[in-house]
Structure 1
């Protein structure tokens, strides 16, 4: 895996989670700008997936391929599902959903690196 891209996606996801935590603490729902920020994070995750595929087709491969690809696909699905849920749920809980999703994505970045390096 390309470490700078993993770190960037983890930091962006963490920042999105912090923003969602502030809004949840203030009893406010997710706003449109947060969903746009989530789309930016998702774009970085798609780029990360493309880099992982290219690297896996080359000489570098993850040590536990099924786990790695499962984490990668899960990472790509979490934010869109959370965004849809947040858009439908117009209460403070939409911010909590986005917070949990963003933190999960950040954690999965660590797991992706660990599985690749194992």
Structure 2
């Protein structure tokens, strides 16, 4: 895992989350903007998956439980897909708010993944 990339992921997920919540509470249904923001968060998570598969091979070992880390990562990878599916099936303002909640949950999960990788002792 790369520290600066983790910070970028948290920032992007927070921005996307706040954007979706504000637009949802303003009455906007899911649009290309909100779905694109969630897709960007998902794309960064896929990149994180690739980085964390390669990182231990090149000597960047986690200090915490690798199993716990991957449980967080796989769960975070599933959330945008589920939220995006819901938003496409039920197109109303609350679906947009749910997309925002998904992004904020991912921000917390990525922050926790950083703690597991860099801070937590075994």
The alignment's TM-score, normalised by the length of structure 2, stands at 0.89
Q: CA deviation at 1:30?
A: 1.4
User: Tell me, which stretches of 5 or more residues in structure 1 are unaligned?
Assistant: none
2:87 alignment partner in structure 1: 86
1:39 alignment partner in structure 2: 39
Superposed CA deviations along residues 64-111 of structure 1, whole A, max 9, x for unmatched, are: 111101001111111111111111111111012101100011001110
Tell me, what secondary structure is at the counterpart of 1:60?
A: coil
Cα distance in 2 for partners of 1:97, 1:16 equals 12
1:51 aligns with 2:46: no
The alignment's TM-score, normalised by the length of structure 1, stands at 0.92
2:70 alignment partner in structure 1: 69
Cα distance in 1 for partners of 2:90, 2:58 equals 43
1:21 alignment partner in structure 2: 21
Cα distance in 2 for partners of 1:96, 1:34 equals 10
Q: CA deviation at 1:27?
A: 2.1
Q: CA deviation at 1:56?
A: 2.1
Q: CA deviation at 1:25?
A: 1.7
Cα distance in 2 for partners of 1:104, 1:57 equals 29
Contact 2:25 2:97 in 1 (8 A): no
